[in-house]
Amino acid sequence: MKSTKTKNIWYLLILLLPFGACQTGTPEENLEIAKQTYKEQAITVQTRTLKRSVFTREIVSNGKVHAVRKADIPFRVQEMITGISVENGYRVKKGQVLATLESFKYKQALARAKESIAKAGIEMEDYLLGYSYSMNDTTNIPKNILRTAKIRSGYNNAQTDLREAEYNYKATIIRAPFTGIVADLWAQEHNHSSGYEYLCRLMDISRMRTEFTLLETELSQVKLNQSVSVMPLANGDTLNGIITEINPKVDQSGLVKVTAVVNNENRKLVEGMNVKLIIRRKVPGQLVVPKEAVVLRQGKEVVFTYEDGKALWNYVKTGMENSSRYTIESGLEPGMEVIISGNLNLAHETPVTREDQSSNRK
């Protein structure tokens, strides 16, 4: 029986017969021309020798990033706003003035509190002199007598009033509690502070945290301090993070909440940004093929291999998957030449030619 290749050549020769009347060559010459014409139609493919290698398993999830440290800066006293020193997006240092309030009322209250404590001190000293004790040496005064002197003279109340007056006066100057960036600043000068819930929000975005969920079946593949890649959906940047928390609870949907922290010194991330997270784990000793090598035929997964100038059809069973590769559980053996390109239109025993193997990746 003639081979499939010989039959195909004769079919092509029959198709060329109408053109043979215009040719003067012998039948043998015409057959050679047909072979050459047929040979030129072979599909060019790239191949790769299948070897056992390390497969990088990927777990992909989505989340949002938030500043590790943030605070709503309140108005601790209610008064007219006399000045605002920052705007949204400003970077400020710890202790820097953010805004000022009208301070006259609180300055007067502080002065009265100082007078009251001075007066109370005089009255307390008079009381102690009645017991032959001096305010200059309170260590020698019995505790019960000293306590009575402070109560009767009003010295304790005066101290309390002074601390409150100092607090309120200090609160008319609003300072940054830590270094960060200003956001959600809506307050305006010459308006009363009671009209606003808070002055602004201060965020330290040098480190960001993101909460995401994993399936309970994926929980065994993650651990504390494991690296994670964080990629903002708004751009193609990739930042490195560390898993800092794993909530030891599976919710009703079969999900586990995980938290990762990522350094954001270059300010690539902003509050509330959507990100994709990828956790990678290396699995050695796997047969790995590019996803392009796997095609569907009759609803089944197929990988073509190269052998003696032909593409051979192999049913396979894929295992683990990442963004670019599959592992092969059955259907292929190490050493096979896997076709990794030009395989969409291949059939079993389709003639193929290989590209230069020196360009193949291992």
91/125 same-domain check: no
Residue 100 above 80 pLDDT?
yes
Percentage with pLDDT > 70 across the chain: 87
Are 353 and 309 within 8 A, CB to CB?
yes
164/180 same-domain check: no
95/180 same-domain check: yes
pLDDT of residue 41: 66
pLDDT of residue 246: 95
Domain span at residue 221 reads 59-66+206-281
343/238 same-domain check: no
Alpha-carbon torsion angle 186, 174, 205, 187, nearest 10 = 0
SS (H, E, C) 42-91: CEEECEEECCEEEEEEEEEEEEEEEEEEEEEECCCCCCEEEEECCCCCCE
In a domain, 350, yes or no: yes
**Torsion sign over Cα 150, 153, 155, 157:** positive
Encoded tokens for 260:
């990762």
In a domain, 7, yes or no: no
218/305 same-domain check: no
In a domain, 340, yes or no: yes
End-of-domain residue from the set 219, 251, 281: 281
End-of-domain residue from the set 155, 181, 198: 198
Average pLDDT over residues 138-165: 89
118/147 same-domain check: yes
184/239 same-domain check: no
220/236 same-domain check: yes
**Torsion sign over Cα 164, 169, 174, 178:** negative
pLDDT of residue 198: 94
pLDDT of residue 176: 97
Of residues 218 and 1, more confidence is placed in 218
pLDDT of residue 149: 86
Average pLDDT over residues 219-244: 91
pLDDT of residue 25: 54
pLDDT of residue 357: 55
Q: State pLDDT tens for residues 298-355.
A: 889 999 999 999 999 999 999 988 889 999 999 999 999 999 998 888 889 899 998 8
Q: Could you give the number of structural domains in the chain? A: 4
Residue 143 above 90 pLDDT?
no
Encoded tokens for 94:
């710890």
Are 183 and 88 within 8 A, CB to CB?
yes
Q: State pLDDT tens for residues 3-50.
A: 444 444 444 444 445 544 444 556 555 555 545 554 546 788 999 999
In a domain, 290, yes or no: yes
